Amino acid sequence: MSANLEADFVIIGSGSAGSALSNRLSEDGKHSVIIIEAGGADFGPLIQMPAALSFPMNMATYDWRFSTEPEPHLNGRQLVTPRGKVIGGSSSINGMVYVRGHARDFDHWAENGANGWSYADVLPYFQKMEQVAFADQDGWRGKKGPLHVQRGKSRNPLYQAFIAAGRQAGFELTDDYNGEKQEGFGQMEQTIHQGRRWSAANAYLKPALKRKNVTLVKGLARKVVIENQRATGVEIENGNVIRTIRARREVIIAASSINSPKLLMLSGIGPAEHLAQFNIPVVADRQGVGQNLQDHMELYIQQSCVQPITLHSKLNLISKAMIGAQWLFFKSGDGASNHFESAAFLRSKAGVEYPDIQYHFLPAAIRYDGKAAAEGHGFQAHVGPMRSKSRGSVTLRSDDPRDKPKILFNYMSHPDDWADFRHCIRLTREIFGQHAFDPYRGEEIQPGKHVQTDDELDDFIRDHAESAFHPCGTCKMGAADDPMAVVDPECRVIGVENLRVADSSIFPRITNGNLNSPSIMTGEKAADHILGHDMLPRSNKQPWINPRWQVSDR
C-alpha cells in the first residue's frame, strides 16, 4: 500500500450499501474509488453455502463479535449483535432472506423529514437492483439488476402446511410479498443464485473490482480526517501502520448501524457532551449520532413433528458430509437453501393499516447457532413484532478505535412490546393448531403448553426473545433543521462538507422485514445523489392495503 493512496471517493465498509456504492460510483469510469474493509475474503463453503449460515455469524473470522450491554428488561441478558467483518459485510453472514419492506415504511420516512424517500421514490431503485428468477406479470419486480433473487423449491410438505394453515385461520395469501401485496402467507425469497449465497460482494463488489478505477484496501478505519469542516480522507490502521487515505471528492461511511456512528463520534461528530468525556474535539455537535437504535426481536415457537420429515434427520455427521459433497460438486441439494422458504406478514389487530408481524417458517426445531433445541423431529416459526417503540443507543467505550462500542438496544422497554409479543405467541399457536398441521403436529416444544397466562408468557419472552439481527437507525436521515437528524435526504452529514453516511444507520424508522434489501437500495440511491444524477422517475404503483384493516386483523 503506497503512502499517498487517494481516490475521488473513499468508501468505508464493503457491506450491503458499500458494495452497491463501489459499483455504481465507478461504473462510468470517470471516478476512482477506494473501499476500506477491515475483514478478509469471503471464499469457502462456510460463507458461500447457504445452508451453512449459522457458522459465519458465530465466527470471529467473519464477525465483529459485538454484544449488547446487559439488557435491563431481559433479565440483564447480553445479546449477541453479529455484524459482518468480511468482504460483503453482513450480506456475507446473514440469513439470505430478501424483504424490501412495506410501501408505507418509506412513506413514513418521507413524512418525517426524509424527503424524496417515499415508496414512489425508492421502488424504482429496488427494481433497478433486482434480477428475480420467477414470473412477474405486473411489473413490480426487477429483471436486469445485479442482485439475484429466487424462491425456494419448497419440497418439504411442512412449507405448504404453514401457508395452508394461514389460509384456514382466515388470513390472506400473497403471491409476492415484495410486490403489490405484502400482507399474507406465501413463499419466502432468498438472495441465492445457482446454489450460492448471492451477497452484495458477489453482486456488486467483485464486478467493480475488475475495473482499473476501483481499489480494495484492508484496514481498520480509525476516523475521518476533517479539515475546516470538510472531510478530506480516512485514517486507517493495518497491522501497526497508520496511514491516511485521501478523498479528492467525498468520504462515504457505510460501516453498519454499529460502526458508522462509532466512526462519526471518533471523528468529532456526535453529542458534544459525550465526546467531551473522551477529550475528542467537537467538529459538529449532532445529538442524534448513535441514538434512535432499533431492531427486530423474535421468538422461536417450536412444535414437535410426528413424521420423520424435518431437517433433524440431516444433522448427523454422515448426512452433513453428503450434503456438503453434493453442494461442493453440484451446488445443489439441501446445502443450496437457507431453508427459510415460507413466510407471512400479518397485522396484529383491527386498526393497524399494514403488517406489523413477520414470520419465518423452518422445517426444523433449531437455533441460530446451529444447535438442536430438542431431540427428535420438529418445526418452528420465528415470529416478532415489526415496529417496536423501544429505542436504544450506540456510544463510545473509549477514544480507542479498536475498542468495541457500547450497544444498548433497550429491548422491551415500551409496554406495548409485551402485549405485541404475547399476541405473537398466541397467534402462532392458533396457526399451528389448524387442520393443515394435523398430520404432523406433536407436542409443543417451546414455550410448552403449560405456559399460558400473561405472566407466564412474559417470563418466557424475558428469557427467550432473541434479536433478528436487524439493527438500524443510529445516524437518522431527516430535515436539516431536525436536531436529531444526522444526515439530510441526500445522505450528507449535517454540518460537515464532503461526508456522507449511506447504510441502515440512516433509516429513520426500521422497515418491515429483513434489512439487507433496503440497505442495498440505500447504496443504489445514494450513488445517484453523490454523482449528481437525476433520480430515477417516481413510480405510480399503489400497494395493496387490506380493505378490512379498520375492522379486522384478517
Peptide bond into 363 cis (omega under 30): no
Give the model's pLDDT for residue 315.
83
Give the model's pLDDT for residue 28.
97
In this structure, are residues 149 and 194 in contact, taking their beta carbons and an 8 Å threshold? Answer: no
Burial 440-459 (b: 16+ CB within 10 A, else e): bbeebbbbeeeeeeeeebbe
220 is in an annotated binding site: no
Phi/psi for 369 (5° steps) reads: -85, 5
74-118 pLDDT, tens per residue?
A: 999 999 999 999 999 999 999 999 999 999 999 999 999 999 999
14 is in an annotated binding site: yes
Give the model's pLDDT for residue 4.
58
Dihedral sign for Cα 60, 66, 68, 69, please.
positive
Q: 372 pLDDT exceeds 80?
A: no
Q: 370 pLDDT exceeds 70?
A: no
247-295 pLDDT, tens per residue?
A: 999 999 999 999 999 999 999 999 999 999 999 999 999 999 999 999 9
Q: How many CB atoms lie within 10 A of CB 390?
A: 18
Is 153-187+297-385+413-464 the same fold as 1-117+197-294+472-534?
A: no
Catalytic residue flag (residue 533)? no
CA 516 to each of CA 188, 194, 308, 356, 417: distance values in angstroms, whole numbers, following the listed order: 14, 19, 34, 18, 24
Give the model's pLDDT for residue 313.
86
Choice among 73, 450, 470, 529 that is catalytic: 470
Contacts for 110-114: CB closer than 8 Å, 24+ residues apart: 112/478, 112/508, 112/509, 113/477, 113/478, 113/479, 113/482, 113/485, 113/489, 113/508, 114/477, 114/478, 114/489, 114/508
Q: What integer best gives the mean pLDDT of the chain?
A: 96
Confidence of residue 230 (pLDDT cuts 50, 70, 90): very high
119-136 pLDDT, tens per residue?
A: 999 999 999 999 999 999
Q: 21 pLDDT exceeds 70?
A: yes
10 is in an annotated binding site: yes
Give the model's pLDDT for residue 316.
87
What mean pLDDT is predicted for residues 494-515?
98
366 is in an annotated binding site: no
What mean pLDDT is predicted for residues 536-542?
98
238 is in an annotated binding site: no
Q: What is the DSSP string of 330-371?
A: HS-GGGG--S--EEEEE-SSTT--S--EEEEEESS-B-TTS-
Confidence of residue 2 (pLDDT cuts 50, 70, 90): very low
Give the model's pLDDT for residue 339.
95
Give the model's pLDDT for residue 452.
98
Q: Using CA atoms, how far apart are residues 435 and 444, in angstroms rounded to an integer?
A: 16
8 is in an annotated binding site: yes
Q: 195 pLDDT exceeds 50?
A: yes
464: Cβ–Cβ under 8 A, 6 or more apart, which residues? 299, 300, 446, 447
Query: What CATH class does 153-187+297-385+413-464 carry?
Result: alpha beta
Model pTM? 0.98
35 is in an annotated binding site: yes
Confidence of residue 137 (pLDDT cuts 50, 70, 90): confident
Domain boundaries, given as residue ranges, for the chain: 1-117+197-294+472-534, 153-187+297-385+413-464
Give the model's pLDDT for residue 374.
65
| Collapsed DSSP state (helix, strand, coil) of residue 190 | strand
199 is in an annotated binding site: no
| Collapsed DSSP state (helix, strand, coil) of residue 193 | strand
Cell numbers that stand for 124 in this block: 424504482
Q: 373 pLDDT exceeds 90?
A: no
Q: Using CA atoms, how far apart are residues 431 and 435, in angstroms rounded to an integer?
A: 9
Q: Using CA atoms, how far apart are residues 156 and 314, in angstroms rounded to an integer?
A: 13
Q: Regarding the domain delimited by 1-117+197-294+472-534, which CATH topology (the fold level of the hierarchy) does it fall under?
A: FAD/NAD(P)-binding domain (3.50.50)
In this structure, are residues 149 and 179 in contact, taking their beta carbons and an 8 Å threshold? Answer: no
52-84 pLDDT, tens per residue?
A: 999 999 999 999 999 999 999 999 999 999 999
415-462 pLDDT, tens per residue?
A: 999 999 999 999 999 999 999 999 999 999 999 999 999 999 999 999
Amino acid at 520: I
110: Cβ–Cβ under 8 A, 6 or more apart, which residues? 116, 117, 118, 121
Q: Using CA atoms, how far apart are residues 429 and 443, in angstroms rounded to an integer?
A: 11
What mean pLDDT is predicted for residues 294-319?
94
CA 317 to each of CA 56, 308, 314, 337: distance values in angstroms, whole numbers, following the listed order: 19, 18, 8, 19
Of the candidates 382, 469, 431, 508, the one whose C-alpha atom is nearest the C-alpha of residue 111 is: 508
| Collapsed DSSP state (helix, strand, coil) of residue 412 | coil
Dihedral sign for Cα 526, 264, 8, 146, please.
negative
Give the model's pLDDT for residue 283.
98
Q: Using CA atoms, how far apart are residues 464 and 21, in angstroms rounded to an integer?
A: 37
301 is in an annotated binding site: no
> CA 478 from chain center: how many Å?
21
In this structure, are residues 486 and 493 in contact, taking their beta carbons and an 8 Å threshold? Answer: yes
Q: 1 pLDDT exceeds 60?
A: no
Q: 45 pLDDT exceeds 60?
A: yes
323 is in an annotated binding site: no
What mean pLDDT is predicted for residues 403-414?
98
